[in-house]
Amino acid sequence: MPNANLHLDLTLKDKQMLLTTARHAIQYGLAYPRLELSKYSQVLQQQCPCFVILKETNQLRGSSGCSQNQQPLIQNVAQQAFNAAFKDKCFRPVNHIEEPILHISIAIVENSQKYCNQTEKEVIKLIAAKISSQLKSKNAEKKVGIQLKHKNFQATFLPEKCCEHDSPDIFIQQLKKAIGVEKDEWFQTIETTIFRCEVID
């Protein structure tokens, strides 16, 4: 199982390799060759969850990922890049004209913590505490992300999205809407995952 408190010391070469792999997964599409893990650094072979975000002219063009995953990081990045480009149901598949101008970001998930059987107020308090801790941290590049899951629906705010809003109350309301929960409703079966991640682009 992946370590919820995983910390990866990625070198500049590792980060460049991740971005290159994501780009190739989109360029080659279904023809992308199977990765030979032995060719990559040990840190890239560690099991680690991630998100891949695609933008075109500063507008979201696709995204894919999850806060918990059991694949090696390099393999996960390739899969999520492919999914973001071709399987995000909110967008049409990326074509060969768009691909060269896509901006690719990779959010490497660390310190993922899942909370169940919480009230909405308790979840908001948890998020506020995590964000406050982040702001006080010397490791400023590690940002907070949030994910809600209910039944077969899930929604995620990555750090960039969280930065658009000042209040955890707003995070929760928008995430609730995305998973089909009404503004004044809350179910203790809702799973909340709060994580830190490093964004590479």
Structure tokens at 25: 């997964």
pLDDT in tens, 159-173: 666 555 567 888 788
Q: What is the DSSP string of the chain?
A: ---TT------HHHHHHHHHHHHHHHHHGGGPPPP-GGGS-HHHHSB--EEEEEEETTEEEEEEE-S---SBHHHHHHHHHHHHHHT-TTSPPP-TTTGGG-EEEEEEEEEEEEE-S--HHHHHHHHHHHHHHHHH-S-TTEEEEEEEEETTEEEEE-HHHHTT-S-HHHHHHHHHHHTT--TT---TT-EEEEEEEEEE-
- pLDDT above 70 as % of the chain: 86
- Whole-prediction pTM: 0.81
Domains of the chain from N-terminus onward: 12-108 (3.30.700.20), 112-196 (3.30.1490.150)
pLDDT in tens, 75-132: 999 999 999 999 998 899 999 899 999 999 999 988 788 888 888 898 888 888 877 7
pLDDT in tens, 139-153: 555 678 888 888 888
